[in-house]
Structure 1
Amino acid sequence: MKDDARLVAWVRGQVQGVGFRWFTRARALEIGGLSGFALNLADGRVQVVAEGPREGCERLLEWLQSGDTPGRVDGVTEIWDTPRGGYDGFAIR
């Protein structure tokens, strides 16, 4: 359990209206072991919260930063924390 982590990432760019949240959920499920959500913010960013094995969270972050996402990512700001729990799978909000 000590290698579990909580990633909170804010993704800037053209990331709304392009299927970004759906693909983020699909990637999280593909990685496996992650729970959390992807949420459109009023300022045009997408917030991604993922909890699970740190390696899985790191893989999701790498994907968010990779340019292999839908739309256009101009930047990702992330913070790391201890998991809080309470998520049922990986949701689109």
Structure 2
Amino acid sequence: MDKVRMHVFFSGRVQGVFFRAFTKENADRLGVNGWVRNLHDGRVEAVFEGPRDKVEKLLYMCRYEHPHARVDDVEIHYEEPENIVGFRVRY
């Protein structure tokens, strides 16, 4: 199993559209660990950690499958996995 950690910044219409709840729900369903939070500049920041195929699926879902968000840009940084357990919304 190829485990990865993706530190992601989503830009566009990603706040006020239940983006964090959508991300958590799908992370839990896929078994991806990490967290998601709103930033003061209007972006959403997230860390996805788990098997590469599941992390990439979650990234795809956040970018293209949210019914109300419009993701204009995604900035991705790969980091060393930290063995996070669970997925949570940070405030």
Same fold per superposition (TM over 0.5): yes
Q: Which residue of 1 aligns with 2:60?
A: 62
Moved beyond 2 Å, runs of 4+ = none
Number of the residue aligned with 2:85: 88
**What is the aligned length?**
89
Provide, for residues 60-85 of structure 1, a one-character-per-residue CA deviation record: whole Å limited to 9, x for no partner.
1111221x213211111111122012
Q: TM-score, normalised by structure 1?
A: 0.87
Return the match for 1:35 from 23, 33, 36: 33
% same residue: 42
What is the Cα deviation at residue 45 of structure 1? 0.3
Q: CA separation in 1, counterparts of 2:57 and 2:41?
A: 26
* 8 Å CA contact 1:4, 1:82 repeated in 2: no
Question: 5+ residue gaps in structure 1?
Answer: none
Which runs of no fewer than 5 residues in structure 2 stay unpaired?
none
**CA-to-aligned-CA distance 1:27-69 (integer Å, 9 cap, x gap):** 111112x111011001000011011111111111111221x21
Normalising to structure 2: TM-score of the pair?
Answer: 0.89
**What secondary structure is seen at the aligned counterpart in 2 of 1:18?**
coil
- The AA in structure 2 aligned to 1:89 is G
Q: What's the counterpart of residue 18 of structure 1?
A: 17
